[in-house]
């Protein structure tokens, strides 16, 4: 099991697959690298995919350097160097996209091209209320209960009609149970505090935005109290954006093939 140890003592598990230009993927706030279980094999046919678990998730141990996105981004920047790369392409989804945005703004020297899926730069009030219920479940119940709560908000309604839905929910529960509840709560509170809108104009990397039309967690156009991808797209020069129909927040699971095609096409350009 390959791991690297960062200067703060955190031990980070990682897994490279495929060959070619390196693409580092940053997972969401409860999944660990299992977030990309469907997407990574499709991408690995074209690039070298670097999946890893953030400290406190899956096979990794430790915590963020500082309980904010600057701390998470600093760990990822250090990880890139520890893996022997000068620069990588980066794909972050949800919480991982917020880290990826911060990484591209504050550590541009390690980011070549940037893919951000299903995220906001600032949560609106409805999203904060939603997150509060998940924190209570993480503390008072178990992380598989958090998986069920997030699934209700995370998938498009039509996804539950698919034959694969119940199997996917079981996989989510197992992945969430490998997450330290304290790490999940810390990530959620970092999200609730965050307003990354000031970082967006600092992003100079070519950027692709991917959104789900039925994303209730991080909608393309949140309420006025939030800052979503519709506004972010106006602030990054030359950005490409796609909103996938009949798709919720878990875009990398629900429409992995479409996401892989869009990402691969963007990276080839």
pLDDT tens readout for residues 196-211: 999 999 999 999 999 9
Q: In the chain, how many domains are there?
A: 1
State residue 183's pLDDT score.
87
Which CATH number is 67's domain given?
3.40.50.1820
Residue 194: Cβ within 10 Å count: 19
pTM over 0.85: yes
Closest CA to 94 of 138, 137, 62, 57: 57
d(CA 160, CA 28): 21
Range of the domain at 25: 3-268
Could you tell me the pLDDT band of residue 65, with boundaries at 50, 70 and 90? low
Average pLDDT, the chain: 95
d(CA 117, CA 242): 10
Q: What is the separation of C-alpha 99 from the centre of its chain, rounded to a whole number of angstroms?
A: 8
Q: What is the mean pLDDT of residues 235-261?
A: 97
Q: Show the tokens assigned to 53.
A: 């678990």
């Amino acid at each position: 099991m390959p791991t690297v140890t960062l200067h703060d003592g955190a031990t980070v598990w990682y897994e490279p697959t495929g060959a070619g230009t390196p693409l580092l993927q940053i997972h969401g706030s409860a999944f660990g690298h299992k977030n990309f279980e469907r997407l990574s094999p499709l991408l690995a046919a074209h690039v070298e995919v670097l999946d890893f678990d953030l400290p406190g998730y899956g096979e990794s141990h430790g915590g963020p350097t500082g309980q904010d996105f600057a701390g998470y981004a600093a760990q990822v920047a250090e990880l890139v160097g520890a893996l022997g790369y000068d620069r990588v392409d980066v794909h972050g989804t949800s919480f991982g996209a917020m880290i990826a945005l911060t990484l591209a703004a504050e550590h541009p020297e390690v980011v070549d091209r940037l893919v951000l899926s299903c995220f906001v730069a600032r949560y609106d009030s409805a999203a904060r209320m939603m997150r509060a219920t998940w924190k209570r479940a993480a503390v008072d119940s178990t992380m598989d209960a958090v998986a069920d709560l997030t699934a209700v908000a995370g998938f498009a309604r039509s996804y539950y009609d698919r034959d694969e839905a119940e199997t996917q929910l079981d996989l989510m529960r197992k992945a969430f149970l490998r997450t330290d509840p304290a790490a999940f709560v810390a990530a959620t509170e970092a999200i609730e505090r965050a307003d990354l809108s000031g970082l967006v104009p600092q992003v100079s990397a070519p950027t692709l935005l991917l959104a789900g039309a039925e994303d209730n967690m991080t909608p393309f156009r949140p309420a006025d109290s939030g800052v979503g991808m519709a506004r972010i797209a106006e602030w990054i020069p030359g950005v490409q954006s796609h909103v996938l129909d009949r798709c919720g927040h878990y875009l990398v699971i629900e429409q992995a093939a479409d996401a892989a095609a869009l990402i691969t096409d963007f990276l080839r350009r």
